[in-house]
Structure 1
Amino acid sequence: MNAEISKNQVKEWLVETLPYEVVWFDEQGNLVYANTKFCNALGYKKSELLKLSITNINPTVTKESWKRHWELLKKEKSHHFIAIHKNKSGKFYEVDVFAQFFSNNGNNLICGIINNITQSSFYKQLIDYTQTIANVGGWEWNLQDGSLIATTEALKIFNVEDFEDLAPANIIHYFRDPERIKNLLRGAMRNATSYDEILETTDSRFIRTVAKPLLKGGKVYKIIGVYQDITQQQVRENDLQFYKEIIDSAEDLIYVYNKEGDLVHYSKSVVKKLGFSQKQLDAFTIYDLDMGLNPEWWSKHFNEIIEKGLLRFERIAIRKDGTKFPIEVSANHLRYNNEDYNCAVVRDISMRKLRDLKLYEALEEIKSLKERLENENEYLQEEISRKINFEKIICTSKAYEKVLEQVNQVAHTDTTVLITGESGTGKELLASAIHSNSTRKDRTLIKVNCATLPKELIESELFGHKKGAFTGATADKAGKFSLADGGTIFLDEIGEMPVELQSKLLRVLQEGEFDALGGTKTIKVNVRVIAATNRHLEEMIKDGTFREDLYYRLNVFPIYNIPLRGRKEDIPLLAQFFLEKYSAKAGKGFKRLSKKTIAILMDYNFPGNIRELENLIERAVIIENGTTLNPGNWMPKSNMKTATNEFKSFDDLQRDYIIEVLDYTDWRVSGIKGAATILNIKDKTLFAKMKRLGIEKKIGLKT
């Protein structure tokens, strides 16, 4: 018995003293034994490890893969492979595993002998991958044993097959200046001096040679480096240098601009003629040399040069001291390294223009001021357009920019849009903006006001009818959906559509087809639908006057058009627009609104929204006279309410809308049909907003 214990103790001592991690697993993948090295490697106590399984150690293992592994080892008895282990702190590392199948006291087990290879594998991959990066060949020279290793790419660069050919004693003979490379290597060995040089080879190629010494105990024990064949790049640089010398010798001023207008090169004559320093010119663009230009002009000019190849024109150049002189410009298109350039050859024509130079400068100054004024006006219009993206919508308020941002997001899609909001807020303008910025903008936007059509005629108006379909149908008539094929149809006041006709509209939205009244042939159409309403469709669904399935088909991308009292910053701008519009129609000379008039308008809540403001200004133009519109009997009485009584906060509106979307998706946040996709934001962003706004799913029993 004592001999047996002694024998087992010896075995355990041998396993514990092996320079490897040792672990045993049973058929279920449970860990039944581990030596101290394995415990230390994973950071567990032995008592903790014995409670774990293979899936805790190697997260890539599944029940199925372990079963296949067990059967393989049972058959083959041993297997060698690379695996990934995870330690107690959650860190992953790469291991080399030698697994054996064996029996112990009648129990079948797998023994794994494990070696951590993360660091060595990393460096091996690092040196292997250098050959694929920018065609660079890597090498390493060990000064202690004289060994040298290199990547395949390094051998290719010098067209050799043996590493010894790259040894310092041999590599120097591949360069035209062997003494230069010899001195560089000597400095790296003796003084730990790194270098990065471009050297010419004996076969007239240019090789970039880089070396970095590694120190141990203050002495260089290894040098690592790279070789890179940059012959083509060097040849191009030499060509450019040759051309630069030609340019610098010319008397004419020569400029080279890129597409962005940067001055990428210029002749020495530019420095002499204009008086700018080389440092100043190096940072210049076309706009620094000619302040009368703008990016739009330059873009058109550059594209014209590319199209025509050569443009000749006259212009005025300005020196550093502000003096001007007339020039003749020959702008040539250049293509280099897949980039377009404008090479402008400029000649001073002062002598030719001397007689009329003063007149020319005066006219040019007037022209320059006019162009600048036009450019500033154009820039202002572009700024307004940039903020709202649409020409017919007048807006400066941040609140309404969010509405227009939604319009901008959905315009380029074919998604059905439902625009809600009070009467007079301009829902039709939003629909027109969506259509005008869509891929269907070249086709007609068909507008239908469902509230103005008699119930007995609305079906015929929308879907058309055949001759004899009803009394008075004396000829075939195409409906609005047929006219809108390939374009967009705007269904205003959709809440007024008879419930019996809503199923037919639903069919168009779902299937893209309908039957004309009295027709026997199904008509296929490709129409984008934009609907609008000032009614609460959810309440109509509860009342049974609006189909729920139609509502969800229309409400794919909802846009709430905020009332005018929610965007008060726009009142002065809108009022000025209507003042100019109706002054011109009435033949009156109003130019502006007085500050007091604006203050009174800003103090009014406009229950009729923009339509009420427009009617108010039209009435004022008829009643009043002069150039400034002052307060009068036409002014509304203030009905201002406190913001707390009138509006919800932006967070409350945002919270309500997110909950509405979550209810629609059954509180699914992620995925194609999730709320984040509908709201066009990332999942993490939506979760963060829900947390900040205190949105939690309410769970209750359905009755």
Structure 2
Amino acid sequence: MTDDQQLSDLQSRYELILDSAGEGIYGLDHEGRITFSNAAATRILGWAIDDVRGQLAHDVHHHSHADGSPYLREDCPIYAALQDGAVHCCDTEVFWHVDGSAVPVEYTSTPMIEDGEICGVVVVFRDISERKKNERQREAAHAELQRIQAQQQLILDAAGEGIYGLDANGKLTFGNTATETILGWKVDDILNHGAHEVHHHSHFDGSPYPREDCPVYAALKDGEVHRVDDEVFWHTDGRAIPVEYTSTPILRDGEPDGAVCVFRDVSRRREAEQQREAAYEEIKALKEQLEQERDYLRDEIDVTVHYGEIIGESGVLKRTLAKVEAVAGTSANVLILGESGVGKEMIARAVHANSDRGEKPLIKVNCASIPKELFESEFFGHVKGAFTGAHRDRVGRMQLADGGTLFLDEVGEIPLSLQGKLLRALQEKEFEQVGDDRTTTVDVRVVAATNRNLEDEVAAGRFREDLYFRLSVFPIELPPLRERIEDIVPLAAHFVEAVSCELGREAPRLTEAHRAILRGHSWPGNVRELRNVIERAIILTRGSKLRLDLAMGDTDAPAAADIAANSTTGDDFLTDAEFRETEKANLVAALRAASWRVWGEDGAAAMLGIKPTTLAYRMKAFGIDKPS
């Protein structure tokens, strides 16, 4: 074989080797011009070697980035090998096909060195389109998996119960937020730890809890669901948490491959059960009457009345108190007569407090505030199921007052249909609850009060005459304040001190001019109106001079401007803070005047001339709460 034949054969073998390679291979001279390429390079990039030989490779297939932006030759790793003689690799770029499509590739640019000089480079590259596609699919699948896992975790974390998973060996694999909250552990800190060792290692009494006895792990053995409601899990701070839980196996090919434990903290339920048991024992030991008495008395003001709290110097008041002293020690029923606001309840409490029943309860019934259909139940009580809404037994006011005094305020408002049963109960000292045929015996003294003329009511057929006689064994008439001129100033002075103390202010001075104004007022609202006037005056007062204003009273009272000129500092405006303080204090004053009742004819809302819902809203806005 001649040298030419050998050379040709070698050339053929060289080309065969290149064309057999799966990667694209081409060569560049020292200027970066294409000198050769194999079949794979032609297939991947679509060129013909004869068309590109001698052209700059950068211009042929590497001129732009994937987004189409220009790719500067001096930035190209292929040509860097011509500059520095180092091997350069890249897998984040594209070569451009002759049809204009971008082909993702990874390539290596290796310099060819001859006699110590760089004479060219060989570029070996492969089309990684499929790999990139697979990577994108894997990334998308991974993102979807993460989304699903995040969604599942959100669902788990939204659950109020603790939820955690175990693998086939009993190691923790996941846990939700409630697990962390209930047990105090961070899930990341206990993953791949044995759940038994983490929180289920001991019984409530501290004795060891063998793992083989644990129902949580039993699900891993027998593939059955196990439910438990009488064990404890242990908090990270060493506390035992009473729990109920369900351990459910995860089955793979019919065999247990893990378990999911769902549990809840039942501490409050256990406490509630214990409280119910304690309450049951208490109920067995106490009478039902004493238990329910608290419900009736909760809204009553706990007032202890002594003669010293009934303020006044008039002869008529002294005569009234003499009657109180005379009748208090007896068992006679008392009827207190007088206009609204004169202080009939104070007299009733004085009668009770100074009787031999003073240590027993004084049960007040405001007859004007009870709906007609509820009178009988309110007075005598009812048994469960007696009528719609009677969900439990209820003790009536008559029974609550057993041994004490029943104060019937506004007694003239009692419906005629109920007066006969009330009369029988007072005469025979016994009655039946609504819905019950059993007779209850009581020992009750009655003190009644009214601003009506009951004799006129009897004549009009609205009040039973026999009941009137039963109630009015010992009548006490409390005259209106306009007939007790001597009592006005002492009462006003008392209210100035009391209201100032309640409002946390220094008591202003009551001048002689104030006294004259007060004595000259007709006081149609009696003592209640006097207190309201004093309270309003103290609220509006700044400094030591009382700002007395009777303009809200009757029309013959001195003008507010005249009074203010004599009794104030001359300021005719309030700051915003002062105005809000004034408004709040005015609400408190009305609530006190109404014994903290919001609703009803005698409620604070009616006194203020606003809706009860409006008053409730303002109380909330100012943070006003009924004193305990």
- Which category describes the TM-score, using the shorter chain as reference length? 0.3 to 0.5
TM-score normalised per structure 1: 0.35
> How high is the TM-score relative to the length of structure 2?
0.39
1 or 2 for the larger relative contact order (CA 8 Å, sep ≥6)?
A: 2
Q: Look at both structures and tell me which one has the larger radius of gyration over its CA atoms.
A: 2
